[in-house]
Each structure stands twice: as structure tokens, then as C-alpha cells.
Structure 1
């Protein structure tokens, strides 16, 4: 993607810090007084920078709109959305907390049945997006327009990039005050070069990448792209990237392992390219069911932050929080780890043991849950349903992090989840898949 017809593709996912406009007593923007805050991409002395209101703005963002006060307190400055659903509320709330918004403009996806050879459907989509841009373009918290998300995932019809270019060109005419990007599912040479050729009106490219983030700067260089980029989603190792059990289910990292992965990948893929990286949006600043209820969200279903949030604060500020979440040193069932592909007999008594490093936590409680393996597995972050827990199986819980539990009576795949909650409402969590064999 390019700043002009000859410019290079650039990754974006930035949001700019909004400090303009006034709010009414109900915390919504007074639209009669609000005005846009200009964002632009600068290339000077061999370095790309995102500017907001003329000042350098490095995105320290969270993908999702959960707990904006904690995001701000942790050193973050921006949030990302995937559509304009609840856009007014998100923009107003971001403005209230001194944050900016990378606003997603939802586009139809080929894998959901949208046909980019259907001229009428493409035209109707463009008109819908036009109205969305006109509605929100002057909000002072707005930083970036993001056209679509992972439109390239499992696609065959590359005409989608012509549609993206048509919309990008339109937005540039409607709103000269904000940068424009599109978001891809990872990168490969053919895709990068297609976007560079067909979508010259975007300012830069945003990329969603997980296990390969640390290699991203070199990959882009190898594909012929030397421009700026922003990482619009990144986080734990993806469920498609990890080892699997012998019955074929992915093994999730513990939150301790995830926190370490965030730190390592940030240093290589974002901090490691200071002349090209514009920042990033960590995924997910919220909670969702995707393969499991804990895989991507940095919050629990009860809204408690896990130890990844501590790592993000360290990355964004250089300082650890005063009160840190605990961490998991080891987690086993019957002295076996997840990589051992644990099998148990239906109805048998089994022992789980979690070893906890308290860090700064003086007091904590351990909670356990057994869920059947999810069968509602989607792709690309599409909505999934949470499995219902299997209850009545816990025999004895020890203060040493041990649990005696009875295996479910029905054969099949399950996961034993453990969550350690401190008195400061910080969490570390993990799960182990196990398979129940018939008696």
C-alpha cells in the first residue's frame, strides 16, 4: 500500500491521542464544538512517523474497547474497532479517557458469501461506508479509518483490492484529516505486491500477525516493501500455530507463557523497526470465546486483567506495575503436561497440580473449571459459542494448588481450566486438554 501511486505499502493500526473537543455533562461529544484532529504520515530523514495534530504519535493500542481507564493507566493511547457498531459510544468514551480510535469500516468477505464481481453489491457497500465516514469524520478522537479486516483470509477473488482502492479514494475526498489503511491476515509476497499495485490510495497497510510477528520487518523487506507499517493485531501464539494433542486439539499457552511471548514479539516486530513501525494494537483488549474462553482476551469473563496486561504496561512505559499478577511455574494432570497428550479413564480419580509464583501477591484464590472441548470452531475471529461446564466432579481442593477430580463419564475431549485471582483482582490462568477414554 502506498502514500501515493509510487509509494510503498505501509502497515497501520494506529490511533491518535485526542485532546480536542468538549464533552457535555453526559460525557458525549458536543458536536457543535467538536472538530477533527488531523493525522498524517510523515517520511523524513529515512524515518516514517505518524503525526497527530503535527506531533509524533506512536500507537500503544489495545484491540477492543474494554476498560479504557486501565488502558490509559497502563500507558496505552489508542483503541481499535472492527466496525462502526457502537461507534459513537466508543469514540466518546475514548475522548473522555484521552485515547484515540482506529475505526473499522466493515466490508463483506468472500468467505461469508460476498461477491466482489457483483457490481450492485459493491456499490451499495461503498454507499454505506460513505455514510459512516460522513457521520464520524469530525470526531476529535478519530485517528485512522481501517477499510475491512482480513478480507484476504481464504479468498480467491482478488478484485476485492479494487473495491478497497475505490473506498480509500472516496475517503480521501470526504475526509482529508485522517489517514486510511486496510488490514490483512498476515503477509505473503503475492498479496503485498497486489496491494501495492491495486490500492495506491491508502496511506499504509495494517497487518494482523501472531506467532510470526518478530519476523515481520524482514518479511516485508524480502517482499519488496520498505514502507511504514502498523501491527493491527498481535498477541499469543495462534490456535492454528501451536502443537496439538494426539486427538488433534491445540494446546494453549499459559498466561505466563503468553506474557513472555508478548514481550519477545514486541521487541522484534515493533520496537525492532523504529524507522518503519508506527505502533500496534495488542489483541484482545477484552474477552471472547475463540477456541477457548481464555485464548486471546487479556481479561477474564469477570473483567479481571491477566498478567499480559502487566507485560503491556512494561512495554509501553518501561515500568512494571506496583502490584503484579502471579505467574504459573508448572501445571500437570497426573504428573503429565499438556504436550504429553493426557488420557484418563471415564469416572477415574485424577490429580491436578499447579505451581504458582506469587510475585507481589500476598493472597490469592484458585478456581477450577472443566469444559468439554469446543465443537463450535470458526475462522477469522467469527463468533463462537462457549461450551457449558461439567459440574460435580471436584473431589478435593488443596491449599498447595492441588485438585483431585473425577473424570467425566462420557468419553471425549475436555479441558481443565485453572485461574489464580489475587486480592488486587489480577489473574493468571491456564488449561490442560485431556481425553476421557471409555471404561
Structure 2
């Protein structure tokens, strides 16, 4: 997810005409905010909007909000504030409201809660968003961050969240503040409660464990009211796998019951304020259908029908089809070019005539993490040789690898059902080749800060003791800036590697083919002199599916206070796939280690 940049737009005069803020941005200047508070009534925590009790019947996602309103929903959440004004205006028009998400940085994405500059910039961004939208009548609450807490043990994260929550409440005392965590653990609940007194509501994202989340939260010490901010089918990490490690996805009919069980269990808790089903729309996350409640054409799946019944008290007049039993004849692990026969059982509650669409797609080399954006896998055109509502014949590709067969069943009245099965073509798979790089290839230099071939996203070791400033003005080698690195712990170790793709440790295709390069050169110096650092090209070993084709290092370099050129020889190395193009590791040396790097490049 991408954090938006927000500009505070003042009232201005243009050509002698006074423009008000509302003329420039209708959602920014409303004065009729609805007061929202959390109160206790008859032993339960309850949200009130202008004194009227309000239970959240919500969703998260980009699907039709008109459909949400028709189904009996009353709220939706956002993760970031990129289009918050539009979301609030649409909600107001439809009689809905919004839990307004403000995205906070994740350390796995490179954000450092120990970096004062990053924390200050994030604080400024949050302030701008709150000041802009705090008066909007469709605002329900503020939601600071989503799953940025990691394992829950980094006190700096909780301290920053609490500081932000306090600031938000001073700017806007009319709305409660929530922060959202991934599942429940003893560390998260303990640290959130003792370090974040300014947070009013805890958002909890839970899937297979959603039905028990209320009990587990209380047993972990939770006393703050909570919202089930994401719930739905079991995640890819919570289901059975094929013998070759691919997750087995439930059918859309099976998923619907997970929504029902989660809601019934969680709303019984006196701490629960309601929930947001995930995801109202469609999204490529592991597969094209895993978490979606809607198809790309807007067709409703059974999960929508279940939530409609829960919200409105009655099922929709026309319900989605039901599917079960998708299976292939024989083994799903087949020879190249084999003919696979698949069957499924499909029915419709109202007896509507059904049609089926069968699609074979490549399986991703690796799945994303934490909702990160994923590329849509390639569809194998012409693979389906014969198909009907209940069966299909598929000619498998000749290329070894993993595939997934999907079936989409539609009733012609806006309802649909989905199922899929993982398939595998036997044989040794040849990894996707890396893109050939033009030499020289600059990894870091002052004038090469856009379109970088590698990103310093691979933080290792005691990362809380590290700081990295890519634009330090402290005596650069050339130009106006260089890179400053500080490791403040007196012991242990830490390091950073430059990765392609970002945040990948060998699970995804990528990297660069640097064939033809004979060396990596860089400039470095120590703050005092005597600092010992090891520099690397390639660190990902052959245990990973997309490893570095070569691993080498310049070990134990003792730096001087003056800039010096260093060279890592690449002669005779296999450079066909270099995923981690540059990096350094440092051990504690009894005092803070500060050093500088500049002009890093691969040369012929």
C-alpha cells in the first residue's frame, strides 16, 4: 500500500475573487461533524453517534458502496487517506460512514521508528489528514495504521502510535482513535495496553481464528473495546497444502460459512463494537479469488449473501449459486502436455440456469505478505479444450511448474460461485532469467536516486540500533550528499543489503544479470577511523528458489577517516542473477560505529 502525500489547501484569492476552502475541496470544510464516543451501556461497550447507539456493520475494500448500502451495511474502512475525501463524500450520500485509515510505516518496508526524521514526517502527514477531514459528518473514527506492529515487541512503534493518537485527539476530540493489529498475541495486547493509553479502540485482523478472537483477546489481558477490522476465510497460511506446498483454497460456498461463524461469535463479546468483512471487492492475493467477496464484473459471491442476511435480518431475494467437489481424475501432479479431466457439482437455490467459465493460470512463484500488491499470474490461453457446467478437459502446458485451475459459475442474475484446484506439471523448472543490465550499473550515487536497480530494503540483525541516511551532507566524496550509516549497539550485529525486488530474500524472480562486470567499486570512510565493516555482493544461498548466482564479500575492511576506493573482484563469478547487489554487515565494537558510503557501481 502506498502512503499518500497531502497538501493543506488554504483559502486563497484568485483574480480578485475570494475562494473558500469548500469551493476548492467540498469534503474539507464541513462544519456539521457528528460527535462519536465510546460508552458503556448495560455492561457492554457501545459506539454512539450524537448520542445514538451505533453497531458497525461494515466492510473493507473497493467494491460498490451502493451495493453495501442495499445489503444493509452501514460503514466501511479505508487503509490509507489517499482518496479519503471522495470516500467520505460517497459515504455521506449513501447514508454510510467511514473508519478513516491513515497508513503508518512498516519496518519491513524500510520505515524506522527509531529515526526521528521519519517519525516527524509521518506525524506531519497525520496532522494534515486530521485537520483536513475532522469536520466531515460521515467520519466515524480515525484508524492509525494497519499491522505495522510486527511481532509487537518494538516499544518504539507503540510509543509513536500513542503519540499520534494523543495528537489526533487534541486536534479532533469528537472522534475516537483506533489502531489495527494483525491477530492477537500476549506481547501485542500487553504492550498496546500499557504503552498506548491514548488509543481508544483496538482493531484486530483475524481470519481462521476470528471466531475465537474475543476470548483470546480477553485472556491476553485486553480490556479496551475492539473492532474485528478484517475477517473472512482462512488465509493461505492457515489451510492444508498440496504435497508440493501450494495452499488449497476453500470454495466460495465454504468461505461464506467462515464469515457467518466469525460474526456470530465475535459480536457476542461485550467489548466488540462490530466488524469489517474483507474484502468487499476483488484482489489478487495468493490467487485471484481467495479473499474477494465480489468478482471483477461485480458478481456477488455467497459471502455477500451471508453478510446481507446478518445485517438486514433476511437473505437476499436471489442467492448466489452453490459449488462443491471440484476434483481432477487421477493425480494433480502430471506429465508435461497431459490431458486433465476436472468435475464439479453446482446448483442454484432458486433454480436459475447456470453457466461455467474454466480458466487455467500459472501459480505465482511466491505469495505476497501482509496484503502487499501482487502481480496477476498469466492465463494459459487455449488450455481448456472442452468444458460444460460440471466438467472440463484441460491440456496442461509442456513447461514444468505450478498451475491452478479455476471455475467461475454464474446464475445470470448477479450471483456467482468460485472454486479452484492446484495442479503441477512434473519436471525441473528453469527459473525465470534475470534482466540483462547495462554496464556500468550504479547502485548508489547522488545523481542516481530515481529508477534504482536495487533498494536498501534488506535490514538484518539488530535493526533497532541502525540508522541509514541516504542523503547525508557530512563531507560527501563527490557532489552534495553521501550515505551515512550508524550502528549504535556495543555488541551483536546488523546489516543492510540492496535488494531486487524490494524486500525479497530469494522467494521471487528478479535480480539483474550482470554478466560482463569484472568488479564492484565503492568509496567508504569511517567517522573516526578504525571502524571494521564487511561488504557484500550476493548473500542469498542455494536453499532459496531464486538465489544469488554468486556470493562474495570483502571481509573485515578497516576504514580510515579519509575516503578510499574499495573493489570487490567479480572475475570468474556467475553473475547471471544477482538479487542482492550490495550490502554491509557490522558487529558491535564497544562504541557506536559510524561510516559513510558513496559512488557504488558495477563496472566492466
User: TM (normalized to structure 1)?
Assistant: 0.89
Whole-angstrom distance in 2 between the partners of 1:133 and 1:31: 10
| Residues 404 and 203 (structure 1), Cα distance of their counterparts in 2 relative to 1, 3 Å cut | same
Match for residue 17 of structure 1? none
Cα-to-partner distance string for 1:213-240 (whole Å, 9 max, x where unaligned): 1111111221122332110001110111
SS in 1 for 2:221: coil
Q: Pick from 415, 420, 428 the counterpart of residue 404 of structure 2.
A: 415
Secondary structure in 2 matching 1:144: strand
| Contact 1:111–1:154, Cα closer than 8 Å, also in 2 | no
User: Paired residue for 2:243?
Assistant: 246
CA contact (8 A) 2:27 2:89 kept: no
CA offsets, 1:98-119, max 9 Å, x none? 1000010111111111111111
3-state DSSP of counterpart to 2:90: helix
Matched, 1:128 2:118: no
Q: 2:170 aligns with which of 170, 173, 176?
A: 173
Task: Assess if the C-alpha contact under 8 Å between 2:359 and 2:379 holds in 1.
Answer: yes
| 1:367 corresponds to 2:363 | no
d(CA) in 2 for partners of 1:214 and 1:321?
24
Distance 1:44 1:63, change over 3 A: same
Residues 369 and 418 in structure 1, CA contact (< 8 A), matched pair in contact too: yes
Aligned twin of 1:345: 335
| SS of 2:87 mapped into structure 1 | helix
Counterpart of 1:252 in 2: which secondary structure? Answer: coil
In structure 2, how many angstroms separate the alpha carbons of the residues matched to 1:364 and 1:49? 44
Check the 8 A contact 1:349/1:405 in 2, yes or no: yes
C-alpha change, 1:117 and 1:227, in structure 2 (3 Å) is closer
For 2:86, the equivalent position in structure 1 comes to 89
Secondary structure in 2 matching 1:240: helix
Using a 3 Å threshold, how does the CA distance of structure 1 residues 69 and 406 change in structure 2: closer, same or farther? same
Q: Return the alpha-carbon distance in structure 2 between the equivalents of residues 156 and 114 of structure 1.
A: 16
1:126-205 alignment to 2 at 5 Å?
126-154=123-151, 157-205=154-202
Larger radius of gyration: 2
Is 1:320 aligned to 2:315, yes or no?
yes
**Equivalence for 1:433:** 422
Instruction: Write the distance in 1 (CA, Å) between the matches of 2:56 and 2:88.
Output: 16
Q: Give yes or no for contact 2:202–2:224 (8 Å, CA) kept in 1.
A: no
**More deviation in 375-384 or 426-435?**
375-384
CA contact under 8 A between 1:286 and 1:297: conserved in structure 2? yes
TM-score normalised over the length of structure 2: 0.65
- Which residue of the partner structure matches residue 272 of structure 1? 268
Task: Please report how far the alpha carbon of residue 335 of structure 1 lies from its aligned counterpart in structure 2 after TM superposition.
Answer: 6.0
Closer, same or farther in 2 for the Cα pair 1:125/1:113, shift >3 Å?
A: same
SS in 2 for 1:390: coil
RMSD of Structure 2 on Structure 1 (CA): 1.7
Q: Hey, what's the Cα distance between the residues in 1 that align with 2:338 and 2:356?
A: 23
Contact 2:28–2:133, Cα closer than 8 Å, also in 1: no
Structure 2 gap segments, 5+ residues each: 1-22, 429-604
Name the one with the larger strand percent.
Answer: 2
Q: How does 1:374-385 map to 2 (within 5 A)?
A: 374-385=364-375
Conserved? CA contact 1:153–1:380, under 8 Å? no
How many residue pairs get matched?
405
Q: Is the 8 A contact 1:79 1:101 kept in 2?
A: yes
Distance 1:438 1:198 in 2: 53
1:7 is aligned to none
Deviation (angstroms), 1:271:
2.6
After superposition, the Cα gap between the structure-2 partners of 1:326 and 1:109, relative to the gap in structure 1 and judged at 3 Å, is: same
Output the CA distance in 2 between the equivalents of 1:348 and 1:128.
Answer: 55
State how far apart, in whole Å, the 2-side matches of 1:361 and 1:153 are: 48
CA distance in 2, matches of 1:67, 1:406: 37
CA distance, structure 1, for counterparts of residue 245 and residue 305 of structure 2:
32
More off after superposition, 387-396 vs 152-161: 152-161
Tell me by how many angstroms 1:31 deviates.
5.8
The answer on 1:79 being equivalent to 2:68 is no
| Structure-2 change in CA distance of 1:187 and 1:413 (3 Å) | same
Query: What are the Cα deviations for residues 288-317 of structure 1, in whole angstroms up to 9, with x where unaligned?
Result: 110001111111122222111001111112
Q: Is the 8 A contact 2:29 2:135 kept in 1?
A: no
Distance 1:173 1:216 in 2: 31
Matched with 1:298 is: 293
Match of 1:391 in 2: 381
CA pair 53-327 structure 1, distance change in 2 beyond 3 A: same
How far apart are the structure 2 equivalents of 1:343 and 1:31?
Answer: 57
CA contact (8 A) 1:110 1:155 kept: no
Contact map agreement 1:111 1:155 (CA 8 A) in 2: no
Deviations 1:142-193 (A, max 9, x none): 1010011001235663311000011100011100111101000011111101
Shift of residue 329 of structure 1?
2.6
Q: 1:153 to 1:33 in 2, by over 3 A?
A: closer
Question: RCO greater where, 1 or 2, for CA within 8 Å and sep 6 or more?
Answer: 1
Write out per-residue CA displacement over residues 377-409 of structure 1, whole angstroms, 9 at most, x where no aligned residue. 22110101010100112221134x111111111
CA–CA distance in 2 between the matches of 1:106 and 1:209? 19
- 1:52-82 per-position Cα deviation (integer Å, ceiling 9, x unaligned): 1110100000112320111011110001100
For the residues of structure 2 that align with 1:319 and 1:195, how far apart are their CA atoms?
A: 38
CA 121–346 in structure 1, closer or farther in 2 if over 3 Å, else same: same
